């Protein structure tokens, strides 16, 4: 098995891990991230980001429902849940691709697995 040497090795690629890894690499360190799933963690893939995208859809629907208060008449409003879910997944994918781009740009290694100290 090949061995790599790192200045910093992060256990977990969640929000704290991937942001710190990118910053360390920007400062010139050789960085690796051990991650059992996808870099970005729960927040990016299943928590904060998709939830906020869905909340935005609900917020837009609420604003449209109140449009008449502002002199804008809207005949029919229909909430398309599958489309809202698709947009949420698209936002997640865009965020994940951004993280992958930054890892590649800064030559950060992602090691699939589980680590302990």
Mean pLDDT for the chain?
94
Is 3 among the domain residues?
A: no
Instruction: Give me the DSSP letters along 25-59.
Output: HHTT--EEEEESS-TTHHHHHTSHHHHHHHHHHHH
Q: Residue 47 falls within a domain, yes or no?
A: yes
- Average pLDDT (100-113) is 97
Could you tell me if residue 68 is inside a domain?
A: yes
pLDDT at 70 over 60: yes
Q: Does 10 score more than 50 pLDDT?
A: yes
Element (H, E) at 111: strand 109-112
| Residue 74 domain-assigned (yes or no) | yes
Domain that holds residue 84: 8-112
Residue 30 CA, distance from chain mean position: 23
- Number of domains the chain contains: 1
Beta bridge partners of 103: none
Single pTM value for the model: 0.85
Question: Tell me, what CATH number does 18's domain have?
Answer: 3.50.50.60
Question: Per-residue pLDDT for 1 more than 50?
Answer: no
Question: What is the pLDDT at residue 116?
Answer: 85
Whether residue 2 is contained in a domain is answered as no
């Amino acid at each position: 098995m090949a061995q790599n040497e790192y200045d910093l090795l992060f256990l977990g690629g969640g929000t704290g891990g991937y942001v710190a890894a990118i910053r360390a690499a920007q400062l010139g360190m050789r960085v690796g991230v051990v991650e059992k799933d996808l870099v970005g963690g729960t927040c990016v893939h299943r928590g904060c980001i998709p939830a906020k995208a869905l909340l935005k859809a609900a917020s837009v629907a609420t604003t449209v429902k109140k449009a008449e208060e502002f002199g804008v008449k809207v005949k029919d409003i229909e909430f398309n849940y599958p489309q809202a879910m698709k947009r949420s997944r698209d936002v997640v994918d865009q965020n994940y691709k951004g993280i992958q781009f930054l890892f590649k740009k800064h030559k950060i290694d992602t090691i699939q697995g589980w680590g302990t100290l």
